[in-house]
Amino acid sequence: MAELIDLALHVDRYLLELVAAYGVWIYAILFLIVFAETGLVVTPFLPGDSLLFASGALAATGVLDLRVAATLVSLAAISGDAVNYSVGRAAGVRIIHLSRVDARWGRWVNPAYVARAHVFFERHGGQAIVLGRFVPIVRTFVPFVAGAAEMSYPAFAVYNVGGALVWVGLCIGAGYTFGNVPIVKENFSLVTIGIVIVSMLPMAFEYVRHVRQGRMSAD
């Protein structure tokens, strides 16, 4: 069980081994992980940015087909957000209430994550659907909050599709560019270092944001 949990949390770092073990089924695995990370509020811990980066890096070496991978994860990101929005629209208010008053629900749907996504949505409006793609945790909860707030679906759909394409394009594109660096091609273990760096960037940005807010409050 511990090994399975470790694999789920760090599937980006085991991607090469998974390709060797499952062959073309890796595309289905990528689809399911991205769909779950964007579409299910109970799995915000799954890798997102770093998984796309790793997929791009592998595509640069020829292990994955870039067009197939990019197309499938884009569809996963779009459909995941659409499902998340629908759940939020249908039962979001009740689920949020239960997560706050019932510890059993709170273990599955973290009230702090919902609150963070709600603040993000209130601050950025519809653009939060696009911007939230690049913020772990927020990426998972923003479409749910948008549904609970009864954002119109046509407007949501535009931001959803646009945000997914930009997110996938930038993350996979960055990985593909990194994977094409000669020294990386000759020493593929460097991709793991790149994945770790990418996975740490959101925390670094969050730290900088808190420092800036603290300075503004002090002034």
Nearby residues of 104 by Cβ (< 8 Å), 6 or more positions away: none
E strands along 115-178, which residues?
Answer: none
Residue with tokens 């197939």: 68
Q: How far is CA 102 from CA 13, 88, 105, 109, 173, in A?
A: 36, 18, 6, 10, 42
What's the predicted TM-score (pTM) here? 0.82
Can you give the pLDDT at residue 53? Answer: 87
Measure the CA–CA gap between 76 and 70, rounded to whole angstroms: 10
Q: Cβ(42)–Cβ(109) under 8 Å? A: yes
Question: Tens place of pLDDT for every residue, the chain, 219 residues?
Answer: 555 555 555 666 677 788 888 889 999 999 999 999 999 998 888 888 888 988 998 888 888 999 999 999 999 999 999 999 999 999 988 998 888 888 888 888 888 888 888 888 888 888 889 888 988 888 999 999 999 988 999 999 999 999 999 999 988 998 898 878 776 666 655 665 665 565 555 555 555 555 565 555 555
